[in-house]
Amino acid sequence: MTASIPSATTSFPAPPTDSKQKVGDFLRQLQDSICQGLEQLDSQQTFHEDSWERPEGGGGRSRVMRDGSVFEQGGVNFSEVWGTQLPPSILKQRPEAAGHGFYATGTSMVLHPRNPYVPTVHLNYRYFEAGSVWWFGGGIDLTPYYPFVEDVVHFHQTLKEACDRHHPEYYPTFKLWCDEYFYLKHRQETRGVGGIFFDYQDGQGDLYRGPDPEGLAAQHSQQVGTPPQRSWEDLFGFVQSCGNAFLPAYVPIAQKRQNTEYGERERNFQLYRRGRYVEFNLVYDRGTIFGLQTNGRTESILMSLPPLVRWEYGYEPKPNTPESELYTTFLKPQDWLSGAVQP
Amino acid sequence: MTASIPSATTSFPAPPTDSKQKVGDFLRQLQDSICQGLEQLDSQQTFHEDSWERPEGGGGRSRVMRDGSVFEQGGVNFSEVWGTQLPPSILKQRPEAAGHGFYATGTSMVLHPRNPYVPTVHLNYRYFEAGSVWWFGGGIDLTPYYPFVEDVVHFHQTLKEACDRHHPEYYPTFKLWCDEYFYLKHRQETRGVGGIFFDYQDGQGDLYRGPDPEGLAAQHSQQVGTPPQRSWEDLFGFVQSCGNAFLPAYVPIAQKRQNTEYGERERNFQLYRRGRYVEFNLVYDRGTIFGLQTNGRTESILMSLPPLVRWEYGYEPKPNTPESELYTTFLKPQDWLSGAVQP
């Protein structure tokens, strides 16, 4: 591992000279391996690719699968863009990056399965450089309609193992950040059962850089102390582990649930709950807002939206049904690995 | 008409002492008359009302019709809320209102017809007071799927007549503002064929208070000069005319098109185009953002979202079809009353 040399002008650990190449190559290969794994799982459909260029610099490869046996729609995007100035939404968070050209690359994915017993899943890993500033961000989260505790535990356990290989504080901190980020304030619901989420990981200071309205992360970091400075290579290795954890975290769940029988009731509930996905992505999601603000490719950005969605005024699940259990147990932050939530 | 007496501390024309009562009463009655007119039109279903209170002050009446003969879903809301401080999104536009308690009332409506030949329509009229600052805002716009030029002309002509009774500059200015406001930048499309839109009408100075990226309104107002100061009563009268113009502007169109035959192709296109409505409301709409920021009643705010929606990656209409004509002719700002757009 290359030693991290703090830059002369800032306190950011210096990235290697070929940092963009390295991350770009990894994220491109991540898109390939994910698509391959999902085609194997679906067995009926394959991904179709559109390559595109961004007039202001850069481009990407959008891949979409439709009407598969498992996936009603799935999109996996890779993009690599550059320009003279980061958009306002990001500069507000990273004012040090102002006045510098930027490079941003990312792989993102959203899968909308047909069977309501198979959860929707989202992944996004990304990297930014602007002047001497750089950071990694991303995460993965699961959105079931008819959830099983054992599936949620498997998903979180797989992510925890990937995190623990790099730092014992990654999983608890980024799990908490995920619960906080994928939260629909206007619904007072989490988007699903969470996963991990992180942003602005530049090797310095606190892991957590979210708004933390509840003060949970601050409390937590008082208990465990501040983690040591991490090099660019440390963080890149961590992001690689996270990306590679997707297939083992998700595929076994989809395999187990894809043939579960369902009827109109389950399908209607799935379409209704997909509305929350749209609400989150259009109202809150940082990646969507970044894409639309930087004149990104709209069709690729909005590929995350479900193929068919229902809204119903005043809907509430009947008490003591699987639908109400989703709300009362699963759409609240839970410590899934403590064994406290019983099937 | 009561004379307008400029306040001692600001240059805003003073409202009458019972201003809130007057506007609240009118907007409540507007909800009643609209619902009555729409029930007559639908003939099969009626509106169901939920009354609600807002913990921080105020409340409203949400009315929804579902599975009607004409309307797959229609919502008409009245609300009247107050509190200690306007939300940031509004204070940014009206910094004079900071530090004052506020009162806000509005009637808003979105109708999603079942038949793809009947256009979706939206209306919203609202009033704010905070300290000595007050203003009216609102508008109405039409979103057809399979449009007819004569319907668009009828809609705009009816609005123009309502506007012209108050000031000859209202229609051209507010029509332009509507085209600009109901614009999906990420799609480079207008939401529909427009109508009128205005905000921050406080009796002073320029009618137009939008961002005007094209400089059109500024050019226009140089040509016609600045309109005279208008009293609170002038503006209230104007908003009344606008509100009352809705039924004559829309009902004849719905009556004419509600029995047009259609098949799966038209239905699929309607569901797809409804996606744009969702995108606009969640990404850009001022009313939605205000509602969600002020801890408004989510179900009432999101009642504007369509009951069933489709997204399709990479969809483009085939050339020389009615679907492509929607894009090439109708989803661009047009001077509908000049006779330039021929059926």
- Express each pLDDT in A39-89 by its tens digit: 999 999 999 999 999 888 999 999 999 999 999 999 999 999 999 988 887
Predicted pLDDT at A3 = 36
The pTM score is 0.91
Look at A2-16, A72-86, A184-198 and tell me which has the smallest mean pLDDT: A2-16
Are the C-beta atoms of residues A177 and A113 closer than 8 Å to each other?
Answer: no
Q: Indicate the pairing of strand A183-184 with strand A189-190.
A: antiparallel
Are the C-beta atoms of residues A112 and A255 closer than 8 Å to each other?
Answer: no
Q: Is A166 an active-site residue?
A: no
A223 vs A151: which has the higher pLDDT: A151
CA angle B199/B203/B208 to nearest 5° reads 40
What is the ipTM score, two decimals?
Answer: 0.90
- Bridge-partner residues for A111, per DSSP? A74, A121
pLDDT over 80 at B213, yes or no: no
Of A197, A195, A181, A182, the closest CA to residue A151 belongs to: A195
Min distance B322 CA to chain A CA atoms (Å) = 22
Strand intervals (E) in chain A: 48-53, 58-66, 71-83, 102-113, 120-130, 133-143, 183-184, 189-190, 194-201, 308-310
- Express each pLDDT in B68-100 by its tens digit: 999 999 999 999 999 998 888 788 888 888 889
Q: Which two three-digit tokens encode residue B125? A: 């009229």
Are the C-beta atoms of residues A79 and A296 closer than 8 Å to each other?
Answer: yes
CA A67 to chain centre: 23
- Express each pLDDT in B256-280 by its tens digit: 999 999 999 999 999 999 999 999 9
Are the C-beta atoms of residues B77 and B34 closer than 8 Å to each other?
Answer: no
CA B156/CA B159 separation, integer angstroms? 5
Predicted pLDDT at B286 = 79
- pLDDT interval class at A203 (50, 70, 90): confident
A166 is in an annotated binding site: no
CA A313 to chain centre: 29
pLDDT over 50 at B107, yes or no: yes
A309/B312 CB distance under 8 A? no
pLDDT over 70 at A8, yes or no: no
Q: Print burial letters for B3-28: b (CB count within 10 Å at least 16), e (below 16).
A: ebeeeeeeebbbbeeebbebbbebbe
- Express each pLDDT in A121-174 by its tens digit: 999 999 999 988 999 999 999 999 999 999 999 999 999 999 999 999 999 999
A122 is in an annotated binding site: yes
Dihedrals phi, psi of B153, to nearest 5 degrees:
-65, -45
- Express each pLDDT in A276-302 by its tens digit: 999 999 998 878 877 777 777 899 999
Predicted pLDDT at B7 = 39
pLDDT over 50 at A181, yes or no: yes
Average of pLDDT values for A176-183?
A: 94
Q: Which two three-digit tokens encode residue B104? A: 């806000």
- Express each pLDDT in A88-100 by its tens digit: 878 888 888 888 9
Q: Indicate the pairing of strand A194-201 with strand A189-190.
A: unpaired
Min distance B203 CA to chain A CA atoms (Å) = 33
Look at A90-99, B54-63, B321-330 and tell me which has the smallest mean pLDDT: A90-99
pLDDT over 90 at B187, yes or no: yes
Which residues of chain A neighbour B66 with C-beta distances below 8 Å?
Answer: 313
The closest CB to that of A311, out of B62, B305, B311, belongs to B305
